Structure 1
Amino acid sequence: MPIHNTNIITLLDNKIYPGESKEISFDIAKLHTATTVNVPIIIERSKKPGPTVLFTAGIHGDEVNGVEIVRQLIAKGINKPKCGTIICIPVINIFGFINLKREFPDGRDLNRVFPGSSKGSLASRVAHKLINEIIPHADYIIDFHTGGSGRFNAPQLRIANENKQLNDLAKVFGAPFVLYSKNVSKSFRLSCYKLAKPLLLFEGGKSFHIDDMVTNSGINGSKRILHHLGMLSSKFTVSAPKKDSLFIDESKWIRAKYSGMFKASSFIGIAVKIGDTLGNITDPYGKLNYVVKAQNDGYIINVNESPIVYQGDALFHITTKLKH
């Protein structure tokens, strides 16, 4: 377990001493109106040495449920460690968050430009500064995301397969599902992997939405990780997950066979059998009523909640192979 000594941490030219609480600004650029945009970073240090944990959210500006999880970690004081340091960045893509858009003003997806460049696009410059000035201080990273385009994700962690450290941390976190997925090219997760910084990527809920079940899963998992590292204040209780996490080796999407009005009749997280009715696609004129059925046994880990779908749209994400 990495242990930092009690020396001063210098973050973005700010000195943070043992036992100090500090809010600093992660500034990249002003708005086109010349208005300054501050991206707050909240740092809490114990007087006792220990690991440094970084909580991040809002890489995509429309994923507000992740922002809510980090906000609650701060508001409840969970981010005040018994030892070590906790760094919270509730909203990385503040430009997208202001406009409730996924991308940066330059049209780029921040999670596809890492490790970035100091002379690149706006998104690329943010990625570069994050990787070079924040990440070197972190021993562990938990990055919060949500589903997009009306698709609701069951609370889940996404990690690369065959990584024992991440596997062990995922078991401690205790999300209902752990989905093995490759590190995507130019993603935040891949850049942290190349720097040997263990990162748990949490997915849950959908864009423009805050869900209590998802929020609680993220908060409880974070508390379990901090407790595991000996960092959680004794005033907080840690509850064991209701069930052990299900580790998913393979999964597939059921896609819409027709365009039309869509209504799901199955719920997120439940087990289904092949042939089970999952929902219906209808048309506005009462002529079509297509029943969407499960194509295999498994668990539903994502549901499309859009009332209108087009042929080929993803409707349900269902596990096909669990790791035993």
Structure 2
Amino acid sequence: MSTEKKTLTILNEAIAPGESKEVNFDVANLHTTTPVNIPVIIERSKKIGPTVLFTAGIHGDEVNGVEIVRQLIAKGINKPKRGTIICMPVINVFGFINLKREFPDGRDLNRVFPGSPKGSLASRVAYKLITEVIPHVDYIIDFHTGGSGRFNAPQIRVAEGELELKQLAKIFGAPFVLYSKNLNKSFRNTCHKLNKPLLLFEGGKSLNIDDTVTNSGVNGAKRLLKHFGMLNSSFKSSSPKKECVFIKESRWVRAKYSGMFKPVVSLNSQVQKGDLLGNITDPYGKLNYFVKSPNSGYVINVNEAPIVYQGDALFHISTVLNDKS
């Protein structure tokens, strides 16, 4: 743990204990030659402590994650009682400008880690993040949302066997903790290989900001900072309303027909096998297909798109819980 009281040099900028600084994570200009400045906000206490990194916007259209980190900065939650807090609200600024998930070359930043200094633009951004920022941090909380109209219940994702992350997930206090494998070439998997604990938060959907999701992310961040002894005494950390549910296995319910779709079940709700989840109809009044739950479980994702095609994911439902976690 980086608890030594010394000057932190990151992205060629020196930040002394007790100092606040905004540094620039620059990689390339726009095609108009306009410089692209990706601000990195660093707040350091004079008291020694861990270094925590909050990141969002790895996918440019996942603005709810950006809003969570923005609130941490705007409210001053990122000013630590001890240690250092680094905030990177928008990593994929190129996608954020265009409100697109990928980089301009179509690459998904979260599938090119650890990157390369001579690779694609996305690969260069990944490389710079891994080599110039991550070595200085002890913990990372990375904020994401669902995509393509699919609304995720606030949830933390960890891989099985990561005992420290499971404990931190419980402290974060999102409604659900979902076991999921570390995907190859992802930011999470690369940090895992570097022994840098990373909590992945999922909540909401792309191109949308939801107050419930935002509050879940902000409150979870405060709980973690309190656990690390870093939360400023001017902020209170509330306990979660309900104990988080650990989900070991889950399944997607997919559309049997193409048509107009209307969900009738609420996100976060617990359903029984055979319960009505939604309806698929056609524009001509001939089709009215009832989508029913294939098993009992919690609804952790709902597709909010009004039009769906055969095979589209409609609902994500837990199948096996792990109450012992």
Q: Name 2:188's counterpart in structure 1.
A: 189
Q: Name 1:4's counterpart in structure 2.
A: 3
Q: What are the equivalent positions in structure 2 for 1:302-317 lying under 5 Å apart?
A: 302-317=301-316
Question: Residues of 2 paired with 1:206 and 1:138: CA distance?
Answer: 28
The reply to whether residue 70 of structure 1 matches residue 69 of structure 2 is yes
Question: Residues of 2 paired with 1:43 and 1:3: CA distance?
Answer: 15
Q: Name 1:262's counterpart in structure 2.
A: 261
Question: Residues of 2 paired with 1:241 and 1:173: CA distance?
Answer: 9
* Equivalent position SS for 1:156: strand
Question: Residues of 2 paired with 1:112 and 1:37: CA distance?
Answer: 22
The reply to whether residue 164 of structure 1 matches residue 163 of structure 2 is yes
Question: Residues of 2 paired with 1:181 and 1:210: CA distance?
Answer: 25
Q: Name 2:117's counterpart in structure 1.
A: 118
Deviation of 1:4 after TM superposition, in Å, equals: 1.5
Q: Name 2:135's counterpart in structure 1.
A: 136
CA deviations 1:19-52 (Å, max 9, x no partner) are 0000000000000000000000000000000000
* Equivalent position SS for 2:302: strand
Q: Name 1:289's counterpart in structure 2.
A: 288
Q: Name 1:30's counterpart in structure 2.
A: 29
Question: Residues of 2 paired with 1:305 and 1:127: CA distance?
Answer: 31
Question: Residues of 1 paired with 2:161 and 2:194: CA distance?
Answer: 17
Give the percent of matched residue pairs that are identical in Structure 1 and Structure 2. Answer: 73
Q: What are the equivalent positions in structure 2 for 1:224-303 lying under 5 Å apart?
A: 224-303=223-302
CA deviations 1:138-174 (Å, max 9, x no partner) are 1000000000000000000001011110011001000
Question: Residues of 1 paired with 2:196 and 2:223: CA distance?
Answer: 19
CA deviations 1:167-213 (Å, max 9, x no partner) are 11001000000000000000000000000000000000000000000
Q: What are the equivalent positions in structure 2 for 1:44-55 lying under 5 Å apart?
A: 44-55=43-54
Question: Residues of 1 paired with 2:283 and 2:305: CA distance?
Answer: 15
Q: What are the equivalent positions in structure 2 for 1:98-113 lying under 5 Å apart?
A: 98-113=97-112
* Equivalent position SS for 2:214: helix
The reply to whether residue 211 of structure 1 matches residue 210 of structure 2 is yes
Deviation of 1:106 after TM superposition, in Å, equals: 1.3
Q: Name 2:83's counterpart in structure 1.
A: 84
Question: Residues of 2 paired with 1:94 and 1:163: CA distance?
Answer: 31
Question: Residues of 2 paired with 1:163 and 1:84: CA distance?
Answer: 24
Structure 1 stretches of 4+ with a deviation exceeding 6 A read none
Question: Residues of 2 paired with 1:42 and 1:11: CA distance?
Answer: 11
Asked if 1 retains the 8 angstrom alpha-carbon contact of 2:2 and 2:136, the reply is: no
Question: Residues of 2 paired with 1:323 and 1:126: CA distance?
Answer: 37
What CA RMSD, in Å, does the superposition of the two structures yield over aligned residues?
Answer: 0.5
Matching residue's letter, 1:16: I
* Equivalent position SS for 2:133: helix
User: Structure 2 length normalisation: TM-score?
Assistant: 0.99
* Equivalent position SS for 1:224: helix
Deviation of 1:290 after TM superposition, in Å, equals: 0.1
Asked if 1 retains the 8 angstrom alpha-carbon contact of 2:56 and 2:69, the reply is: yes
Matching residue's letter, 1:295: P
Asked if 1 retains the 8 angstrom alpha-carbon contact of 2:301 and 2:317, the reply is: yes
Question: Residues of 1 paired with 2:169 and 2:237: CA distance?
Answer: 16
Question: Residues of 1 paired with 2:251 and 2:2: CA distance?
Answer: 41
Deviation of 1:3 after TM superposition, in Å, equals: 4.4
Matching residue's letter, 2:8: I
Matching residue's letter, 1:161: E
Question: Residues of 2 paired with 1:166 and 1:115: CA distance?
Answer: 21
* Equivalent position SS for 2:22: strand
Q: Name 1:13's counterpart in structure 2.
A: 12
Matching residue's letter, 1:143: D
